[in-house]
């Protein structure tokens, strides 16, 4: 049976571990600590936890102030709110002065489910990766999320870390994975197509690669978790090795992971490419699995794009 875990749960665990090791770590939340799992840190270190309330702009402003005082600041809310409502403050108060604020956003993508379009961030990678000096990360699973949080805490400067809501299959094991900023990881190697995936779509890509074997299509699968800075070297390497690329992400098709990959290919090694993503529409209320199927963010969606891009070679 596949082991499952929610990235946000491991985010909470990582915060508690960091709080024990570093008294300068402080955590802020926008009245959603039970959902973002910052409540774990609040229980362990109440004097270093601040619930700012439903005021995301103020949350980012206070985070910037604490960072100016030498604190290692984690600021959390749902991805839709902390990227959308507070973008101006993120840009001007955190990223422009390159402050040591780690924006850890949970409940990203359409797998927020029944909360509907207003809560489903499908644009956050686009609006965050455009900001200079902001590192943008999307973990493939809970293990990688845990590693990312520890890495961000030890690395000066601003980060945006995007996590999903629900439990997802574990792609990695604690004992054999180390996160590296600006690096991606080739999980499966094949000669016919490269599937470059992020977040929850990494596990889906691995399942699709297994199905493609039955069609005599050998797929490379890449976990692209560092969206910015992006791993140009690996993207070009797999494009040269396979001659075509499919991207897969739980985000809008516009200006997300697929666009970032396409930029790399256009500038370095153009090959046929297809994108698995939400096709420029808002989300809606529904069960996560049903929404993923509706928007073809599933194995069949990847298979369809792979067949199309291989035929274009």
Catalytic residue numbers read 56
Provide the b/e sequence for 142-179 (b: ≥16 CB within 10 Å): bbbbbbbbbbbbeeebbbbbbbbbbebbbbbeeeebeb
Alpha carbon distance, N-terminus to C-terminus of the chain: 37
Q: Give, as one character, the DSSP assignment of residue 286.
A: S
Residues 6+ apart with CB under 8 A from 188: 206, 209, 219, 220, 221
DSSP helix/strand/coil, 252: strand
**Cβ neighbours around 22 below 10 Å, total:** 13
Whole-number Å distance between alpha carbons of 152 and 259: 24
Of 200, 205, 236, whose CA–CA distance to 222 is shortest? 205
Specify whether the backbone of 55 is left (phi greater than 0), alpha (psi in -120 to 50) or beta.
beta
């Amino acid at each position: 049976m596949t082991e499952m875990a929610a990235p946000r749960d491991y985010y909470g665990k990582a915060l508690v571990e960091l709080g024990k090791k570093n008294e300068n770590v402080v955590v802020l939340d926008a009245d959603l600590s039970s959902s973002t799992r910052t409540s774990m840190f609040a229980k362990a270190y109440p004097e270093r936890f601040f619930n700012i309330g439903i005021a995301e702009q103020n949350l980012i402003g206070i985070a910037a102030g604490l960072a100016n005082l030498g604190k290692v600041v984690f600021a959390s809310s749902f991805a839709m709110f902390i990227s959308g409502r507070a973008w101006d403050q993120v840009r001007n108060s955190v990223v422009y002065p390159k402050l040591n604020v780690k924006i850890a956003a949970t409940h990203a993508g359409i797998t927020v489910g029944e909360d509907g379009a207003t809560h489903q961030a499908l644009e956050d990678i686009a609006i965050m990766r455009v900001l200079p000096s902001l590192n943008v990360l999307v973990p493939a699973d809970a293990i990688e999320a845990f590693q990312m949080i520890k890495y961000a805490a030890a690395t000066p400067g601003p980060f945006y870390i995007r996590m999903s809501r629900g439990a997802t299959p574990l792609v990695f094991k604690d004992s054999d994975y180390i996160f590296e900023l600006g690096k991606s990881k080739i999980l499966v190697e094949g000669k016919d197509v490269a599937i470059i995936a992020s977040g929850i779509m990494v596990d889906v890509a691995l399942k699709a690669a297994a199905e493609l074997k039955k069609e005599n299509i050998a797929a490379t699968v890449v976990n692209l978790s560092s969206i910015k800075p992006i791993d140009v070297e690996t993207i070009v390497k797999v494009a040269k090795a396979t001659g075509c690329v499919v991207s897969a992400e739980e985000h809008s098709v516009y200006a997300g992971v697929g666009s970032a990959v396409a930029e790399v290919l256009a500038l370095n090694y153009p090959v046929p490419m297809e994108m698995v993503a939400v096709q420029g529409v808002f989300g809606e209320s529904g069960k996560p699995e049903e929404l993923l199927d509706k928007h073809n963010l599933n194995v069949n969606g990847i298979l369809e794009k792979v067949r199309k891009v291989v035929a274009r070679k």
